[in-house]
């Protein structure tokens, strides 16, 4: 779907110079812009491209306005850089609104309840007594088990699997092949050396405004709930084990693993490939650098200064140590 310069200007609260009716459907770099593209110019290094650009619309910072007339329609802002996220959000919202209706090749149990303006794609399955809120987008091949509750305006991309009894809040986005509610890794050793499976009887609760990247798994609790609090953002390929709780507005990068029953505070930031042991508490605002390992409790006053290493220590301390031990194998430095 296309969007006009007038609508973009209203959304960004910018000033139009040129044709307000010109329409675009994609964001592009100003050096490669085409008539159906909208570009953003905030860096003086790229100012010359504006004179030759074929883009339909350019959102430009006021201090970079050209003296001569240019081909694109201009939307002038004090700082065009700040408009980037808002512009992408507008185009994404318009794109999402295209999908409507229920595919005849989908299945929904008669006892399920589906809200208004819900899109259900081909080969999706909605189990008994499950509820889907208004405005949700359920893409093809999504599985929603029994007794699942999904709030309003959620997006479930292809291949998402939500097991029985799990709850998803409002405005959540689950990307392709996310699994919510698979069994936690619970096994008890027996005398003959084998392992007996411990039933995982709990569920997963995702609060509002949670976004989860592709192929991430959040396991159901052994008892009670695994909880992902409001505003949490999880990257691709993350493992959240049973009975974990992640605090509000925490962001976690790819390939991180959090073992069972660990409590993560709010406003934390974890880099990629972080490993976190089970049954520990990580304080609010903790920052953990990539590839670090956390084996014990982390107090907020320490975690907010940044952690690094395996096992992780305060980042400034780690860098001082690293400056020394990286030369240990060099004979000339001994």
Q: In this structure, are 256 and 187 located in the same domain?
A: yes
Q: In this structure, are 199 and 306 located in the same domain?
A: yes
The whole-number pLDDT of residue 91 equals: 81
pLDDT of residue 156 exceeding 90, the answer is yes
Q: In this structure, are 137 and 85 located in the same domain?
A: no
Q: What is the rounded average pLDDT of the residues 221-238?
A: 97
The domain boundary residue, chosen from 96, 124, 150 = 96
The whole-number pLDDT of residue 81 equals: 87
Q: In this structure, are 90 and 115 located in the same domain?
A: no
The domain boundary residue, chosen from 96, 126, 146 = 96
Q: In this structure, are 211 and 293 located in the same domain?
A: yes
Q: Tens of pLDDT along 103-155?
A: 999 999 999 999 999 999 999 999 999 999 999 999 999 999 999 999 999 99
In terms of pTM, does the model score above 0.85?
Answer: no
Q: Tens of pLDDT along 61-105?
A: 999 999 889 999 999 999 898 888 888 888 877 766 668 899 999
The one catalytic residue among 11, 139, 242, 279: 242
Is residue 102 one of the residues assigned to a domain?
A: no
Q: In this structure, are 9 and 141 located in the same domain?
A: no
Total tally of structural domains belonging to the chain? 2
Q: In this structure, are 76 and 222 located in the same domain?
A: no
Q: Return the number of other C-beta atoms located less than 10 Å from residue 170's C-beta.
A: 18
User: What's the domain range around 10?
Assistant: 3-96
Q: In this structure, are 85 and 185 located in the same domain?
A: no
Told to judge if 242 belongs to the known catalytic residues of this protein, a careful annotator would answer yes
The domain boundary residue, chosen from 96, 121, 146 = 96
Is residue 164 one of the residues assigned to a domain?
A: yes
């Amino acid at each position: 779907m296309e969007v006009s310069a007038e609508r973009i200007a209203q959304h960004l609260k910018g000033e139009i110079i040129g044709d307000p009716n010109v329409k675009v459907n994609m964001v592009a770099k100003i050096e490669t812009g085409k008539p159906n593209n909208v570009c953003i110019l905030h860096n003086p290094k790229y100012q010359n491209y504006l004179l030759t650009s074929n883009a339909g619309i350019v959102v430009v910072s006021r201090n970079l306005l050209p003296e001569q007339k240019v081909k694109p329609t201009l939307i002038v802002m004090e700082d065009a850089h700040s408009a980037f996220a808002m512009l992408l959000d507008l185009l994404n919202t318009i794109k999402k609104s295209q999908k409507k209706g229920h595919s005849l090749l989908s299945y929904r149990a008669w006892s399920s309840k589906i809200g208004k303006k819900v899109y259900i794609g081909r080969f999706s399955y909605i189990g008994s007594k499950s509820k889907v809120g208004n405005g949700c987008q359920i893409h093809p091949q999504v599985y929603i088990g029994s007794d699942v509750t999904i709030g309003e305006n959620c997006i479930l991309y292809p291949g998402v699997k939500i097991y029985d009894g799990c709850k998803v809040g409002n405005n959540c986005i689950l990307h392709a092949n996310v699994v919510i509610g698979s069994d936690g890794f619970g096994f008890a050793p027996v005398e003959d050396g084998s392992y007996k499976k411990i039933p995982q009887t709990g569920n997963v609760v995702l609060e509002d405004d949670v976004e989860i990247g592709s192929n991430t798994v959040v396991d159901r609790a052994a008892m009670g709930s695994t909880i992902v609090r409001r505003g949490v953002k999880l990257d691709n390929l993350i493992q959240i084990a049973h009975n974990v709780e992640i605090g509000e507005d925490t962001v976690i990068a790819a390939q991180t693993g959090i073992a069972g029953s660990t409590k993560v505070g709010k406003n934390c930031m974890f880099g990629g490939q972080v490993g976190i042991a089970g049954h520990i508490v990580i304080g609010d605002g903790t920052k953990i650098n990539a590839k670090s390992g956390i084996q014990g409790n982390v107090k907020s006053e320490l975690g907010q200064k940044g952690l690094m290493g395996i096992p992780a220590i305060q980042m400034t301390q780690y860098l001082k140590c690293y400056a020394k031990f990286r030369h240990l194998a060099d004979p000339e430095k001994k």
